[in-house]
Amino acid sequence: MRNFTNDNELQIKKFGMLRRYEDSESFLLENLHLACEETANYLVIWCINLEMEEKHDLMEHVSHQTIVMQFILELAKSLEVDPKGCIKAFFSRIKLAEKQYMEAFNDELTSFKERIKTRAEEKIQAAIRETEEEEKQARLGPGGLDPVEVMNSLPISMQDCFEKKDIALLQKVIMELPQEEAECHMKRCIDSGLWVPGPSDGVGDGAATTDNTNSDNTENV
């Protein structure tokens, strides 16, 4: 498919931009090699990309031509002939505007556009998840913990200390917590990179950092 689309991309896109049935028929009859699965597949992918780029009107335009190509291929399959030999037959039926055939065409076009919107949204969400995961991996601390997740799990009093980078206040808050809980929180802070311990590993000898955290846990997409 790659070689075919590389060699015929401009022609496929030109077909995708046509609207009048007469123009589409003439163009395909002049470019019989475009009546194939590869053209239909390219048009489908193009529609998805257009929807992802929020070019909704253009997506709907190209969708029409995609269904034209798919109906030609389906007609060829039902007759067990080469799609090139079904171009005139398809357009003859369309031009006659047979009610049942036009209803089937329009129903499939509507359904196709909905499928394109769904698929585009799925791909967008997948890309967002992938980006978020990459960002998460990039900010993991020395112990493999995410500083954003650790920050959000801390008691509010400790979060306030880190946001203010107030080591004295942090030391006070730690001292007021049960020893086991305090040690657990500080270990997670160290493993996430929120806290860089000093030589004696004491709270007063280290440094608080919030450079790689986002206090409101929002992402710019």
Q: List, for residues 165-216, the tens digit of each pLDDT value.
A: 888 898 899 899 999 998 999 899 999 988 888 655 455 445 555 554 444 4
CA distance readout (Å), 74 to 52, 149, 164: 27, 52, 66
* DSSP classification of residue 204: G
Q: At 127, give phi and psi (nearest 5°).
A: -65, -40
pLDDT computed for residue 206 by the predictor: 52
**CA distance linking residue 164 with residue 217, whole number of Å:** 17
Structural contact between residues 146 and 192, judged by C-beta atoms closer than 8 angstroms: yes
Percent of the chain with pLDDT over 70: 89
pTM of the model: 0.68
pLDDT band at 115 (very low <50, low <70, confident <90, very high): very high
**CA distance linking residue 74 with residue 93, whole number of Å:** 14
State the average pLDDT over residues 139-165. 89
